Amino acid sequence: MTDDEQSQLGRAMSALTEDCMHKAGYGSWNPAPELPKMGPKTLTDLRYGIHDAALVGKRGYHPDAAEKAAHDAAVEAAIAGRSGGAATAAENGCGQQSKQKIGDSQSGFQLAEQLANDAFTKAEKEPEVAAAFTQWSTCMKESGYNYREPLDAVDDPKFARDVTKAEIDTALADLNCRSRTNVALVWYEAEVRLQKAALEKNAQALQGGRAKLDSAMKNVNAVLAGKR
């Protein structure tokens, strides 16, 4: 699903659930607000790791501070607005009814997601990608950092909390080694090749999935147009 489709689906689900909750007697119930975006801007942004030197210099491997603050505040507000066992049970039941009215939107893109994830994992084992990983790792060792693969640094538990100078220094070295070895481009090109092969092999099933998603989106559009 595109970001726009995801947003439309969320709004339609909220509208149907709100109707159901009000009919069930929960007149004060309001749907959770749509959360502001944080982190990757597209499906490929950060897929192979960091690349924004300005952001890395301030935040290391962490997302933009303002984006994170807005996202965390929205999450806290959504949690605060959800209280009461009876209301939660009713909301879950209404949510299921809403899904049934819209149709099976998820199965329309599950195969595509699975194929994409498989290609991502398989690409790591392609000879040229493995070689690029080795070059990147060697480059990092020259700066005093011991990581085997490009995403190992971002997943380092010691960088899980607040941004530190050590994290920023590591991320800047990471960025330098990425530039020197071209690792992201090599990885991307290998995954593109694998994805294209998977697309050709699963074309019919993927077309069927797209048809299911299109059908669900027609129902979404009808709900948003007030025909619910």
Amino acid at 195: Q
pLDDT at position 2? 86
pLDDT at position 228? 60
- Region 213-219: what's the mean pLDDT? 93
Helices (DSSP H) in the chain: which residue ranges? 3-23, 53-59, 65-80, 85-102, 107-123, 127-142, 165-181, 183-201, 203-224
φ, ψ of residue 130 to 5 degrees: the values are -60, -40
- Region 171-191: what's the mean pLDDT? 98
> Are 154 and 56 contacting, i.e. CB atoms less than 8 angstroms apart?
no
Predicted confidence (pLDDT) at residue 83 exceeds the cutoff of 60: no
Q: What pTM did the predictor assign?
A: 0.84
Q: What are the extents of the domains in the chain?
A: 47-62+104-213
Under the phi-then-psi rule, with left for phi > 0, alpha for psi from -120 to 50, and beta for the rest, what region is 42?
beta
Over residues 59-68, the pLDDT tens digits come to: 999 999 999 9
| Burial category of 132 from C-beta neighbours within 10 Å (exposed 0-12, middle 13-18, buried 19 and up) | buried
Distance CA 89, CA 204 (A): 39
pLDDT at position 85? 63
Distance CA 105, CA 219 (A): 10
Tokens 């993927």 belong to 206
Distance CA 87, CA 24 (A): 10
- Region 87-112: what's the mean pLDDT? 84
Over residues 114-164, the pLDDT tens digits come to: 999 999 999 999 999 999 999 999 999 999 999 999 999 999 999 999 999
pLDDT at position 91? 78
